[in-house]
Amino acid sequence: MIKKMGNPDIKVTILGSGTCVPSLRRSSCSVFVETGTQKIILDAGPGTMRRLLETGNEIFDITHIIFSHFHPDHTGEFVPFIFANKYPNENRRKVPLTLIGGKGFKEFFNCLKNVYGEWIELSPGIVNILELDNKKACTLDFQQFRMDSIPVNHRPESVAIKITSLNGYSLVYSGDTGFSQNLITLALNTDLFICESALPDNLEVLGHLTPSLAGKIATQAKVSFLVLTHFYPECDQFDIAKQCRRTYNGSFVSAEDLMTFELPLDLS
Ligand SMILES: [Zn+2]
Ligand SMILES: [Zn+2]
């Protein structure tokens, strides 16, 4: 049981606990992080804006979008998000928007501009685009939080992402990955570990984790709380918690859309 204290240092909302598979229960991948006045979206799969509205936030409030990789279930809302920021015109957005992705992100965005042109152009004064190294860990220091990334085993541009508040509380989001020593390194001693668990143990595929592999990483990283997410429909037919328990004794939950967490955690 996690108690909610109000006025947290970091608030985390699972916007989408699903995958590419259309589901009324699970929107595609996205996690919403609020710390100070900063509002950060980690991945923006289809349906992200609608789920964001359900949290009471507007797209114009978002300060950062960080992509773990470019698969459509993690980026599908990118084009509609930028387009919606131009309605009725760019003046609606008062805060700058920082867009971050792995190696090739600028080219990815430019290719989309070749298709959509000015429909997804925002003025340079309002948008800032950053690209992460796909060979080594990176750190970006923003005014109200620190972001760390590390390459993981899924796509060449794939990274896991860590957000640390000014007071030192942190969450780690795995993105998509197979078993990864780098992910253990990034997640070491983190407060909240949001980890993909795409398929049940018996249906493991290359480049994705299972409940017991996610549990193994959480155990080795000594995380305070584990959240399993990115569930293909097959997961709903098995006892995911039991499979995770094979390798992990700590606190955890299987994500549902709009589930929230507050840091610091109160696990009493
Ligand atoms: Zn993927
Ligand atoms: Zn995915």
- Give mean pLDDT in consecutive 10-residue pieces for the chain, a chain of 268 residues: 74 98 97 98 98 98 98 98 93 94 97 97 92 95 98 98 98 98 98 98 96 98 98 96 98 98 90
Query: How far away, in angstroms, is 69 Cα from ligand 1 center?
Result: 7
Query: How far away, in angstroms, is 6 Cα from ligand 2 center?
Result: 31
Amino acid at 210: T
Half-sphere exposure of 86 (CA within 13 A, CB side): 12
Amino acid at 219: T
pTM over 0.85, yes/no: yes
Query: How far away, in angstroms, is 166 Cα from ligand 1 center?
Result: 30
Query: How far away, in angstroms, is 155 Cα from ligand 2 center?
Result: 10
Query: How far away, in angstroms, is 230 Cα from ligand 2 center?
Result: 7
Query: How far away, in angstroms, is 217 Cα from ligand 1 center?
Result: 19
H or E segment and range at residue 113: helix 105-116
Sheet containing 225-229, strands listed edge to edge, beginning at the edge strand earlier in sequence: 138-141, 145-151, 159-165, 170-173, 192-196, 225-229, 251-254
Query: How far away, in angstroms, is 74 Cα from ligand 2 center?
Result: 6
Query: How far away, in angstroms, is 74 Cα from ligand 1 center?
Result: 7
pLDDT for res 2: 61
Query: How far away, in angstroms, is 235 Cα from ligand 2 center?
Result: 14
Query: How far away, in angstroms, is 148 Cα from ligand 2 center?
Result: 20
pLDDT for res 134: 87
Query: How far away, in angstroms, is 154 Cα from ligand 2 center?
Result: 9
Half-sphere exposure of 94 (CA within 13 A, CB side): 2
Half-sphere exposure of 204 (CA within 13 A, CB side): 14
Query: How far away, in angstroms, is 14 Cα from ligand 2 center?
Result: 14
H or E segment and range at residue 151: strand 145-151
pLDDT for res 123: 87
